[in-house]
Structure 1
Amino acid sequence: MIAVLTGDVINSANYPPESWLVDLKSLLESLGSNPEDWEIYRGDEFQVRLNASEALQTAIRIKAQLKRRKGMDVRIGIGLGEESYRAAKVSESNGPAYQASGGVFDRLRDEKLHLQLSSGNAAADTGMNLMLKLASDFMDDWSPVSAEAILKVLQSPGVSQEQMACELGIQQSAVSQRLSRARLDLLEELLSYYTKQYLKSIR
């Protein structure tokens, strides 16, 4: 089973592409090869193929990366399933995971949501998507500084608040406040549930 992320950047027109596109490409390059594993097309849309266990954390990393800029955000539809055809370009590959990703992504705008998933297991998906909808209440409200703090935690698991404070040039207490406001505690519980319960339920 693989995961496919289909997404688009919200309010990208408010920023020059060079201010955010380089960072997004750098993040995607850490996940695989272009264009076999990821592509950016039509300016601000993208698709990524990756291991199912990494899908939700990667989606949230992308969100945190972009939300470091005020007013910017992302919509991402995650599809989980099999891959029946792998092409030289991820946008030309096919299978249930790709179809699920495109289907859920197409619904996001109409439902005014930023992050949902689909695996074909209706019961498991309903519960997981409710959690994502509730989590979006705080993730969509991340300030640029909170998003930056979350990004550092996700990129460097185990990093201490003291290390983060040194890198950001702020006090450790300020790092603690930013992570608390960003609800890191709930985010970690969500990611744990995704990998330990949800994925097992759909395999």
Structure 2
Amino acid sequence: MIAIVTGDIVNSGQYSSAAWLPALKEVLSEKGQQPEAWDIYRGDEFQFKTAVNEALEEAILIKSVIKSHKNLDVRVAIGIGEESYSGGRITEANGTAYLHSGRLLEELKSGKQTLAIRSGLKEKDEVCNLLLRMALSFMDEWTTVSAETIAWTLRNPGASQQQMAEFFNIQQSAVSQRQKRARTDLVIDLLVFYKETFKELIR
């Protein structure tokens, strides 16, 4: 089993790609070589392949990185399944993971939700997507500061508040307030729940 994450930048037409493209490429480049492991196409759409247990964390990382830029957001569909064909380009590969991800993104475009999961396991998908809708009630409203806080936290697991304070050149008490406003604890809990829910698909 693998996870395919497909997404697009919300409001990208209102801004130069120079505002968000380097940050997106920096995250995606950690997934391997372009275009086998990831690619950006149609100007503002992207896709990458990852491990099932890492997919939601990486999707939220991309959301936080993009929302660190004012008035920008991202729509992301996580597809979990098999890969039946993996040509030289990820955009030419196929399998249930790709189908789940691609079709789900099209559904997200016609709705208001910005992040969802599809594995084909109905009960697991329903529970996770319900929790995601609840989490998006605050993730969609992250300020640039809250988004930066989440991005740094996900990139520095286990780091202390003091380390974050030194990185952002702020007081440690301010770090605590930033984490509360970003609902960092709920994001971490959500990631733990996701991994537990799909643990039998992780190998």
Q: Same fold (TM over 0.5)?
A: yes
Q: How does 1:151-170 map to 2 (within 5 A)?
A: 151-170=151-170
Q: Is the 8 A contact 2:3 2:81 kept in 1?
A: yes
Q: Which residue of 1 aligns with 2:101?
A: 101
Q: Which residue of 2 aligns with 1:64?
A: 64
Q: Deviations over 1:64-103 (max 9, x none)?
A: 0000011100000100011000110000000000000011
Greater Cα shift, 112-121 or 164-173: 164-173
Instruction: State the Cα RMSD in Å.
Output: 1.1
SS at match of 2:31: coil
Q: Which amino acid aligns with 1:89?
A: R
Q: Deviations over 1:157-201 (max 9, x none)?
A: 0111111111111111111111101111111110000112x1136
Q: Is the 8 A contact 1:3 1:52 kept in 2?
A: yes
Q: Give the distance between the partners of 2:195 and 2:43, measured in 1 at CA.
A: 32
Q: Is the 8 A contact 1:78 1:101 kept in 2?
A: yes
Q: How does 1:23-62 map to 2 (within 5 A)?
A: 23-62=23-62
Q: Which residue of 1 aligns with 2:145?
A: 145
Q: Which residue of 2 aligns with 1:130?
A: 130
Q: Is the 8 A contact 2:19 2:69 kept in 1?
A: no
Q: Give the distance between the partners of 1:38 and 1:202, measured in 2 at CA.
A: 22
Moved over 3 A (4+): none
Q: Which amino acid aligns with 2:22?
A: V
Q: CA deviation at 1:31?
A: 1.4
Q: Which amino acid aligns with 1:194?
A: Y
Q: Which amino acid aligns with 1:191?
A: L
SS at match of 2:146: helix
Q: Which residue of 1 aligns with 2:183?
A: 183
**What TM-score do you get using the length of structure 1 for normalisation?**
0.97
Q: Deviations over 1:141-169 (max 9, x none)?
A: 10000100110000110111111111111
Q: Deviations over 1:111-167 (max 9, x none)?
A: 210000100111110011001110000100100001001100001101111111111
Q: CA deviation at 1:12?
A: 1.4
SS at match of 1:77: strand
Q: Give the distance between the partners of 1:156 and 1:31, measured in 2 at CA.
A: 17
Any unmatched runs of 5+ in structure 1? none
Q: Which amino acid aligns with 1:21?
A: L
The 3 A distance-change label for structure 1 pair 44 and 91 is same
Identity of aligned residues (%): 48
Q: Is the 8 A contact 1:119 1:202 kept in 2?
A: no
Q: Is the 8 A contact 1:121 1:202 kept in 2?
A: no
Q: Give the distance between the partners of 1:175 and 1:71, measured in 2 at CA.
A: 23
Q: Give the distance between the partners of 2:138 and 2:144, measured in 1 at CA.
A: 13
Q: Is the 8 A contact 1:10 1:75 kept in 2?
A: yes
**What TM-score do you get using the length of structure 2 for normalisation?**
0.97
Q: Which residue of 2 aligns with 1:199?
A: 198
Aligned length, in residue pairs: 202
Q: CA deviation at 1:14?
A: 2.5
